[in-house]
């Protein structure tokens, strides 16, 4: 029942009217966007007179709208969510979405940002399938050899990208590691065009990674989200067809929370100066 107070009503500080008002708000769902007084009373277990007073108070405060006999929430209720999200950093915002991504694909999911010529892991949900690969929050890899790195490089302004490529060294990590700057530049151009990157056994033999950009409200690439899989369980075509769409969807969810919650904060959660 929506009006259940969880057994705390006997405490000395408990304000029953607050609990009842919140129980009224919680009755509104995607399936019950508009409700009558009787609907809300039934869902909360409160009598009609109490329910009416609570609803009309919420109308006066701007959290509920009334149209005839129908009540519905107003956008003002989003203030509560914004206040919560604005106190969170990008890794905190991303983590539940990465958990969902890892759970859906049963693979390791991560978020990283560009730091110099390296990617640094900001958030990580590991999978037992990738237990042999030692990755932790704070782990760094050369950006050129990773899917997240190529997404982040592709998000740089052209002048900055070229400056980085001119000084970049490309040590070979595996037989498949990109061999020269011209080939890397072409790969980054392809990533920009298609909106995602797929790197196959260039960082470590048998490790395949797929990444997509995470953008802020200004459209700037501030991070990359990815999944890492063993090459012997997948093919590039399978990853492109079945994995990348899920990672793209996850990035959109992270972006939505970031845009809603960051406000005047940067991506690390620190106030803008």
Give the pLDDT of residue 89. 82
pLDDT at 273 over 60: no
Domain ranges across the chain: 16-73, 83-262
DSSP string covering 83-127: HHHHTS-HHHHHHHHHHHHHHHHTSEEEEEEEETTEEEEEEEE--
CATH topology assigned to domain 83-262:
Beta-Lactamase (3.30.450)
What does the pLDDT look like over 57-85, one tens digit per residue? 999 999 999 999 999 999 888 777 666 55
What does pTM read for this prediction? Answer: 0.67
Distance between CA atoms of residues 247 and 75, nearest Å: 29
Give the pLDDT of residue 265. 41
What does the pLDDT look like over 6-51, one tens digit per residue? 446 566 788 999 999 999 999 998 888 999 999 999 999 999 999 9
Query: Which residues in the chain belong to E strands, given as ranges?
Result: 34-35, 64-67, 70-73, 108-115, 118-125, 140-142, 197-200, 207-215, 221-230
Percent of the chain with pLDDT over 70: 86
What does the pLDDT look like over 154-180, one tens digit per residue? 999 999 999 999 988 888 888 999 989
Distance between CA atoms of residues 59 and 46, nearest Å: 18
pLDDT bucket at 3, cuts 50 / 70 / 90 = very low
**Which CATH code fits 16-73?**
1.10.10.10
Residue with more model confidence, 263 or 33? 33
Distance between CA atoms of residues 263 and 272, nearest Å: 9
**Beta strands at 207-215 and 197-200: parallel, antiparallel or unpaired:** antiparallel
Instruction: Please provide the average confidence, as pLDDT, over all residues in the chain.
Output: 87
Quickly count helices (H) and strands (E) in the chain: 10, 9
pLDDT, average across residues 99-126: 93
Give the pLDDT of residue 258. 87
Give 142's contacts (C-beta < 8 A, 6+ positions apart): 117, 118, 149, 171, 173, 203
């Amino acid at each position: 029942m929506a009006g259940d107070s969880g057994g705390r009503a006997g405490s000395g500080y408990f304000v029953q009217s607050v609990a009842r008002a919140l129980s009224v708000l919680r009755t509104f769902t995607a399936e019950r966007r508009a409700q009558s007084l009787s609907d809300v009373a039934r869902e909360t277990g409160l009598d009609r007179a109490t329910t009416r007073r609570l609803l009309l108070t919420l109308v006066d405060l701007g959290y509920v709208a009334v149209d005839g006999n129908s009540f519905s929430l107003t956008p003002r209720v989003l203030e509560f969510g914004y206040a919560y999200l604005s106190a969170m950093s990008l890794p905190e915002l991303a983590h539940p979405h990465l958990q969902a991504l890892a759970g859906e694909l049963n693979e390791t999911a991560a978020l990283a940002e560009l730091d110099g010529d390296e990617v640094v892991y900001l958030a990580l949900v590991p999978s037992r399938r990738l237990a042999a690969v030692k990755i932790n929050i704070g782990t760094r890899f050369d950006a050129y050899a990773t899917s997240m790195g190529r997404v982040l490089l592709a998000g740089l302004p052209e002048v900055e990208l070229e400056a980085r490529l001119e000084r970049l060294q490309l040590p070979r990590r595996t037989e498949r590691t990109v061999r020269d700057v011209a080939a890397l530049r072409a790969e980054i151009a392809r990533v920009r065009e298609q909106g995602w990157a797929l790197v196959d056994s260039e960082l470590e033999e048998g490790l395949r990674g797929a990444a997509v950009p995470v953008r802020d409200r200004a459209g700037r690439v501030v991070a990359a989200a990815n999944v890492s899989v063993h090459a012997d369980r997948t093919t590039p075509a399978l990853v492109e067809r079945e994995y990348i769409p899920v990672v793209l969807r996850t990035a959109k969810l992270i972006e939505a929370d970031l845009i809603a919650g960051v406000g005047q904060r940067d991506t690390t959660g620190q106030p803008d100066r």
